């Protein structure tokens, strides 16, 4: 699991004009991974390459993760961030899901949905890896690897258009500036309307990067990233008396006059790699990231009778909110990796430490209609008719009537880890490891000037074994514990205790001798304490539901078939449910033992089939993809479910010349009505109807 880059190498080739060595291609290590081959790891790993994403026409992380077995969409906060669960477990669904970029924490801020422009590949490391990654979920960790500068000039330009006035442009160029110094510039711009009424989005992102070889054994890399997005806050559609489909999926229940919510994301990453020898090396890294999110939005809510509608059954009560989130995150880390032999055993060792200082300034106000019985006119001032909406700025409530949040949170996490993968024989490998975390959290409620604090710590062990009866087959078992700090407080101002997890996994992998077929199967069981989910009583808040369990099986396959066919498929069965009950001080029991976890389908799967051929001696391909997602719980503590759906996608591409490629796809071919995720029956995110995209790409 190495990232290809170019680096300096000593050889006896003639010196260049500046007296520097020539360049050969090798690889740059990734933090937390080391140099153990993927087939020798006691876990299931699924990788999405840039070529796969490009062929499927995918530009967003959420759409990419739809292709990964056992990954389910979660609350996206009105389309303003990425939310997902791996093998049934998500983190706090009131904040973005955690993921890594080049090994750095990148899911904690509020910079908007992640674009995949400039991505080399996406690794989803399944199973009990939390003991090593720290903030990773027990189901798996998503690590995005970005494209690095190269020492051979190359570039590409892409233009894309499609349904709902969609336009996107991408550019990527890399070149050496000397034999030791290379640069890369990657960026994208997107502007589009939506199948959702009145909505318009805009995005611009750029990520320049540098790579400098100080000598043959030492390199420094730096990457800056900037993303600005403008996205209207959109809570989706409502289920009327628990029934979806009574209003069209296009119906926007917010107010266009609110304008878009704007997000900004500024990130810096710098890494130093030094190889002491061909067996030992060190990685040092630092990251600094700031994000901000600001905007107005309408939030459907329950009225005094705890029903969403007034007496006519069509007038929806809404509160108006103003939100501003600001974050700052500093990450430091270091790791030594090496290999040595003792008593005939080969050890692959990782020893490292990391530090994370995260600051979160959270401010939100709202204007909330009073009870209908006491103020019938004013109560309906910010309401909307779901069957015949009339948008008007004149009826908007002020957004400063009452305070929801005014908090300053600071989380400091220090961790140290060690892992040793031991080659007992050529066919038996054992992994031993562990991680120690110390977490310090303070949350200042400015309205009361009260600060709550907690400082838990934990040691999380990890063990695994791999047996390879043949060169093509390996079977494995792994066990791990995990520790993950939670952000924020519940409705009553109580901070959430950290999540603690325990995971078991057993699986098998197969790689054919010609590398044409790769497949894996994994059975898993996980448990988690202090799991966070949406609060079914207090709208917009989350609660800790105590303990939960998830168990299931995954199957993945990728194959090159006869007659130039290619196949990629996966299947997952996940049974995720609460193992404790929750009592609300005001309303009694809201979660019972055995209740399923929100947005987790029991069955899901993907199948992609491509056929490669030639058109006038130029390469071309055509493909079909099918994505199935089972029904899912749509609101915690209720019997409201989102229906199952099956989406079909057609894709095709053809090279007009050696350098120019024309491609496109039709998504949701049969125009199925579907729902991507839900926070409650009032906040359901509908999926897009049939759409098309076409693009032309020029590579040079």
Q: What is the per-residue pLDDT across 454-491, written as a single tens digit (0 to 9) for each?
A: 999 999 999 999 999 999 999 999 999 988 877 777 77
Please state the rounded mean pLDDT for residues 604-609: 97
pLDDT at residue 12, rounded to an integer: 33
Whether the model pTM is above 0.85: yes
Percent of the chain beyond pLDDT 90?
Answer: 69
Answer yes or no: are the C-beta atoms of 65 and 72 closer than 8 Å: no
More confident residue, 312 or 266: 266
3-state secondary structure of 598: coil
pLDDT tens figures, 616-665: 999 999 999 999 999 999 998 889 999 999 999 999 999 999 999 999 99
Q: Give the position of tokens 């200042």.
A: 444
Determine the pLDDT at residue 10: 36
Give pLDDT, residue 303.
60
Tell me the pLDDT tens digit for each residue of 62-92: 999 999 999 999 989 889 999 999 999 987 7
Q: How confident is the model over 297-306, as a mean pLDDT?
A: 72
Q: 516, 501, 653: which is closest to 139 by C-alpha? A: 501
pLDDT tens profile 190-230: 999 999 999 999 999 999 999 999 999 999 999 999 999 99
Cα–Cα distance for residue pair 154/150, rounded to 1 Å: 8
CA distance 524 to 504: 6
Q: Are strands 140-146 and 100-101 parallel, antiparallel or unpaired?
A: parallel
Q: How confident is the model at residue 586 (pLDDT cuts 50, 70, 90)?
A: low
pLDDT at 331: 95
Question: In the chain, how many H helices and how many E strands?
Answer: 4, 42
| 585 pLDDT higher than 90 | no
pLDDT value of residue 131: 62
Polymer length of the chain: 700
- What mean pLDDT comes out for the span 113-123? 95
CATH topology of domain 38-699: Maltoporin; Chain A (2.40.170)
Per-residue pLDDT reduced to its tens digit, 144-181: 999 999 999 999 999 999 999 999 999 999 999 999 99
DSSP for 380-429, written as a single string: TTT-EESSS----GGGPPPS-SEEEEEEEEEEEEEEEEEEEEEESSSSEE
- Tens digit of pLDDT for each residue in 662-675? 999 999 999 999 99
Q: How far apart are CA 103 and CA 637, in angstroms?
A: 36
* Best-predicted range by mean pLDDT (586-590, 614-618, 687-691): 687-691
pLDDT averaged over every residue in the chain: 88
pLDDT of amino acid 130: 58
pLDDT at residue number 15: 38
State the pLDDT at residue 561: 95
| pLDDT value, residue 666 | 98
């Amino acid at each position: 699991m190495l990232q290809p880059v170019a680096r300096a190498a000593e050889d006896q080739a003639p010196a260049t004009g500046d007296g520097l060595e020539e360049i050969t291609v090798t690889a740059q290590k990734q933090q937390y991974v080391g140099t153990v081959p993927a087939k020798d790891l006691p876990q299931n790993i699924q990788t999405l390459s840039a070529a796969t994403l490009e062929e499927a026409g995918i530009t967003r992380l959420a759409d990419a993760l739809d292709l990964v077995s056992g990954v389910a969409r979660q609350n996206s906060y009105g389309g303003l961030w990425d939310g997902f669960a791996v093998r049934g477990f998500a983190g706090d669904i009131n904040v973005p899901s955690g993921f890594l970029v080049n090994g750095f924490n990148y899911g904690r801020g509020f910079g908007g949905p992640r674009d995949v422009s400039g991505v080399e590949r996406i690794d989803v490391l399944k199973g009990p890896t939390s003991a090593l990654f720290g903030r990773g979920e027990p189901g798996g960790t998503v690590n995005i690897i970005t494209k690095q500068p190269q020492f051979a000039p190359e570039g590409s330009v892409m233009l894309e258009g499609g349904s709902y006035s969609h336009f996107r442009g991408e550019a990527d160029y890399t070149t050496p500036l000397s034999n030791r110094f290379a640069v890369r510039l990657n960026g994208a711009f997107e502007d589009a309307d939506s199948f959702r009424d009145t909505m318009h989005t805009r995005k611009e992102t750029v990520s320049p990067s540098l790579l400098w070889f100080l000598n043959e054994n030492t390199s420094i890399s730096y990457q800056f990233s900037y993303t600005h997005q403008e996205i209207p806050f959109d809570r989706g559609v409502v289920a009327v008396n628990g029934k979806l489909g009574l209003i069209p999926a296009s119906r926007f229940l917010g107010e266009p006059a609110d304008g878009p919510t704007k997000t900004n994301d500024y990130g810096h990453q710098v890494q130093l790699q030094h190889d002491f020898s061909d067996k030992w090396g060190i990685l040092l890294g630092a990251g600094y990231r700031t994000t901000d999110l600001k905007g107005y939005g309408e939030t459907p809510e329950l009225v005094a009778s705890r029903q969403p509608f007034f007496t006519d059954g069509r007038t929806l009560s809404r509160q108006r909110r103003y939100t501003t989130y600001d974050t700052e995150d500093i990450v430091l880390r270091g790791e030594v990796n090496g290999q040595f032999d003792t008593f005939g055993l080969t050890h692959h060792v990782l020893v490292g430490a990391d530090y994370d200082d995260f600051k979160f300034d959270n401010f939100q106000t709202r204007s909330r209609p009073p009870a209908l019985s006491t103020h019938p006119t004013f109560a309906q001032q910010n309401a909307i008719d779901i069957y015949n909406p009339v948008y008007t700025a004149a009826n908007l409530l002020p957004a400063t009537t009452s305070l929801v949040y005014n908090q300053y949170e600071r989380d400091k996490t220090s961790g140290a880890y060690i892992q040793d993968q031991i080659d007992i024989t050529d066919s038996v490998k054992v992994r031993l490891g562990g991680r120690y975390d110390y977490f310090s959290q303070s949350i200042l409620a400015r309205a009361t000037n009260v600060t709550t604090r907690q400082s838990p710590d934990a040691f999380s062990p990890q063990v695994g074994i791999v047996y390879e009866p043949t060169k093509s087959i390996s079977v494995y078992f792994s066990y791990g514990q995990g520790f993950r700090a939670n952000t924020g407080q519940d409705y009553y101002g109580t901070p959430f205790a950290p999540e603690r997890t325990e995971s078991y996994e057993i699986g098998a992998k197969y790689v054919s001798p010609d590398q044409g077929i790769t497949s894996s199967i994994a059975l898993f069981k996980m448990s988690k304490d202090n799991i966070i989910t949406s609060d079914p009583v207090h709208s917009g808040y989350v609660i800790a539901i105590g303990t939960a369990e998830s168990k299931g099986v995954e199957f993945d396959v990728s194959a090159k078939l006869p007659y130039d066919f290619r196949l990629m498929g996966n299947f997952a069965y996940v049974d995720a449910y609460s193992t404790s009950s929750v009592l609300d001080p005001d309303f009694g029991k809201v979660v019972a033992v055995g209740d399923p976890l929100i947005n987790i389908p029991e069955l899901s799967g993907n199948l992609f089939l491509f056929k490669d051929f030639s058109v006038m001696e130029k390469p071309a391909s055509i493909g079909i993809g099918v994505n199935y997602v089972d029904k899912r719980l749509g609101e915690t503590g209720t019997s409201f479910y989102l229906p199952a759906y099956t989406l079909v996608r057609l894709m095709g591409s053809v090279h007009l010349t050696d350098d120019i490629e024309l491609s496109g796809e039709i998504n949701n071919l049969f125009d199925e009505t579907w729902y991507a995720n839900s926070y409650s029956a009032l906040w359901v995110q509908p999926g897009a109807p049939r759409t098309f995209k076409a693009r032309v790409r020029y590579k040079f």
